[in-house]
Structure 1
Amino acid sequence: MRFLRFEFSKPLAIRFFVTVGVALVAVLLGWRLFVHYEYDPWTRDGRVKADVVQIAPDVTGQVIKVNVRDNQVIKKGDVLFEIDRDRFELAFRQAEATVNAARINLAQAKREDARNRNLKELVSHEEREQGRAKVEQYEADLAMAIVQRDTARLDLQRSRVLATVNGYVTNLNVQVGTYVTASHPVIALIDSDSIYVEGYFEETKLAGIHPGDAATISLMGEEEKLKGRVQSVASGIFDRERSTGDNLLQNINPTLNWVRLVQRIPVRVGIESKPEHVRLVVGQTATINIHNRDRRELAEAQNTK
């Protein structure tokens, strides 16, 4: 029996192994991309966000001193600006005088009431009752005067407007001479302790996103990546196709688009570690990668038990 024998030349063998190697690399890369898109949801539509605290004075008056400047770092309790205190000091002194007068009136009424009670036979029952009623009235007047004094003291204290959070002053629009009104915000503070990243993920990727999943955050303009963790997934978004018609009935669009666009759902990602040299700016663009390998490995380990 005669066997056919094939012999490869050296150049042909090299090309063969190179082709096989390239094919294996392509398969591995394809598998890696499949795993990345199937199990590791990601988005380039991310934004750095934080709680913005609107600072409004508790009293009305003219600003006499501004202690901060725009974009300044501040700490909780720092004095942001001061309102003219003269009027509040006068109001406090007046309230204090009213308290002292009420105490004098009460003391006098108590002395008269005690004297009337000691002179039972000489003072009528009606006069004794009137004396007791006068004591109770002056006690109420004193309590009211104390409340007004404490309110005046509080207004005096709050003529100095303090920072309520740690963070940054932004968009400062108050200057010396500005007349501010109580309950009307004049300064915005970015709470530095509340900074997080919000990413908008396609709804088809939500199955791979769960609270507690690890995340990698890449900020535009920063080479170093940040570590984060999924905190929550939004429970609802606004439906632009629906509105309320007459009689509070739903107004449904009678047309249907054949091309269905994938909705994007907000996902909140907390920042676990940040290098000191990395500066986070609210509104900054970020790319977010969600990693749930730990979840898959845990599930596989439980299934094998």
Structure 2
Amino acid sequence: MEESTQGRKKKLFTGLLLLAAIAMGVLVIWRVDSEPRTDDAYVYADTINVVPEVSGRIVNLAVRDNQRVKKGDLLFQLDPRPFQDALDRARSSLEQLNQQIMLTQRSVNAQVFNASAARASVERARAAAQQAADTLHRMEPLVQKGYVSADDLDRARTSAQSTAAELAAAELQAREATAAISGVDALQAQRAVVQAEIATATLNLEYATVRSPFDGVVVSLRTTRGQYASASTPVFTLIDTTHWYVIANLRETELAAIRRGTRATVYLMSNTAKHFEGEVDSVGFGVVPEDGGSVAQGLPQVQRSINWVHVSQRFPVKILVKDPDPNLFRIGTSAVATFHPASRPDRRNAG
């Protein structure tokens, strides 16, 4: 009797244990389907290569490798003397040109005055010639009547011819005076060129001082003061620490409920006790398939873990982390991400 009772208890315990295992399995499957989770994730942040806009020798390197900097902090400075010299030369050229323009303008003003005086002389000569011609016309009919002598008529004719000649000479002088008027247009155009050179020299002098465009961390610094920096060669890399992301490679079968704005929880393998909240920033739309085929260049390549079984492809999901710990977040740090599609904070951001 006792053995029979113990046997029933064992069977009951085994059954309950089996039911519990099934329930746990169902719960795990439901949890995986409703809240996808992956440990194929890593920390990411935007970076820039710090490249000077001009070439020159580094005279002041204000940072060291892996140093944190604030926006506007001095990173390094190139020797400013060549750029200052170019600026001084351009300014001197402008001053000299301004003096030349002033003197030339005075000469132009004198030429304009001479042309105006010549035109006034033409008007006087024209009036005198008109008067002499009128006098001649009035005297010619009076000669036959004896009112005017032949000598008076000759003198009137000579005066008319003389004033006509003076008018022609005055008109010629007026044309010459007008043609002699030069101007300062060419010098003004040259002045605009020098002003552009000053603007370029001023900008190059500003470029000699390189400051941080954002809060960040200096990495890959392998140079020192005295090194010649080229305008086409990075001096170091700067990590943008104003935004930290976790790139989680999620199976394609789990992407249906993931949208921009989906809430996520992440933790880093360097400190599993501390969890961080985040939101999906974007969902990847392309990866390089490992089994070949024609693909677009520049797409992320995610390796499949099993080659002899058809497994789901993984796509990168970019999570923007809220309030990241600056002491823990480093690019490439391994992470674990859990998504909560049912509790997206802002469904208007779904896309």
Question: Are 1:260 and 2:310 counterparts?
Answer: yes
- 2:69 matched to which residue of 1? 74
Q: Matched residues in 1 for 2:226 and 2:34: separation?
A: 59
- 5+ residue gaps in structure 2? 119-175, 296-306
Deviation at 1:228, TM superposition (A): 0.8
Matching residue within 118, 125, 128 for 2:178? 125
In the alignment, which of 260, 277, 283 is matched to residue 227 of structure 1? 277
- 2: CA distance, partners of 1:90 / 1:275: 47
CA contact (8 A) 1:41 1:209 kept: no
CA distance 1:10–1:114, shift in 2 (3 Å)? farther
CA distance in 1, matches of 2:255, 2:60: 51
The corresponding residue for 1:112 is: 107
1:194 is the counterpart of 2:247: no
Q: Which is richer in helix?
A: 2
In 1, are the aligned partners of 2:42 and 2:247 still within 8 Å (CA)? yes
Match of 2:53 among 58, 61, 70: 58
Deviations 1:142-170 (A, max 9, x none): 11111111211221222112112210000
Aligned partner (choices 293, 296, 299) of residue 242 of structure 1: 293
- The 1:258/1:61 distance shift into structure 2, 3 A limit, reads closer
- The answer for the alignment partner of 2:215 in structure 1 is 166
Q: Output the amino acid matched with 1:147.
A: A
Q: Secondary structure at the match of 1:208?
A: coil
Post-superposition CA distance 1:261-305 (Å, at most 9, x none): 3211111011123356x520110000111111236xx9xxxxxxx
Query: Does the 8 A contact of 1:40 with 1:208 survive in 2?
Result: no
Give the Cα separation in 2 of the matches to 1:168 and 1:258: 43
Alignment pair present for 1:97 and 2:76: no
Q: How many equivalent residue pairs?
A: 271
Corresponding position: 1:85 with 2:77:
no
Shift of residue 29 of structure 1?
2.2
Aligned mates of 1:126, 1:34 — CA distance in 2 = 98
How far apart are 1:19 and its partner, in Å? 6.4
Farther off after superposition, 83-92 or 14-23: 14-23
Contact 2:43/2:245 (8 A) holds in 1: yes
Q: Alpha-carbon deviation of 1:124?
A: 2.1
Give 2:130's aligned residue: none
Label 1:273 to 1:85 Cα distance change in 2 as closer, same or farther (>3 A): closer
The letter of the residue matching 1:233 is: V
Q: Read off the aligned partner of 1:124 and give its amino acid letter.
A: A
- State the alpha-carbon separation in 1 of the partners of residues 203 and 187 from structure 2: 24
CA distance in 1, matches of 2:88, 2:308: 75
Aligned counterparts of 1:215 and 1:180: Cα–Cα separation in 2: 43
The amino acid across from 2:214 in the alignment is V
SS at match of 2:242: helix
What do the CA deviations read for 1:223-247 (whole angstroms, capped 9, x no partner)?
Answer: 1111111111111112351149xxx
Partner of 2:131: none
Identity score, percent: 29
- Paired with 1:274 and 1:180, the residues of 2 have a C-alpha distance of 34
| CA RMSD in angstroms, aligned pairs only | 2.6
Q: Residue by residue, what CA displacement relative to the aligned partner does 1:167-199 show, whole Å, maximum 9, x if unpaired? A: 000011121111111132111000001321101
**For residue 259 of structure 1, what is the amino acid of its counterpart?**
V
Q: Report how far residue 127 of structure 1 moved.
A: 1.5
TM-score (norm 2): 0.70
1 CA distance for matches of 2:106 and 2:5? 124
1:290 is aligned to 2:339: yes
User: Which position in structure 1 is the counterpart of 2:321?
Assistant: 271
Distance 1:292 1:216 in 2: 11
Deviation of 1:10 (Å): 10
* Per-residue Cα deviation, 1:90-146 (whole angstroms, up to 9, x for no partner): 111111101111111222222222222222244622222xx22xx111111111111
Aligned counterpart for 2:29 among listed residues 13, 30, 34: 34
User: 3-state SS of the aligned residue for 2:256?
Assistant: helix
Amino acid aligned to 1:54: N
TM-score by length of 1: 0.80
Is residue 291 of structure 2 the alignment partner of residue 203 of structure 1? no
Q: Which amino acid is 1:242 matched to?
A: G
Secondary structure of 2:105's match? Answer: helix
2:332 aligned partner, one-letter code: G
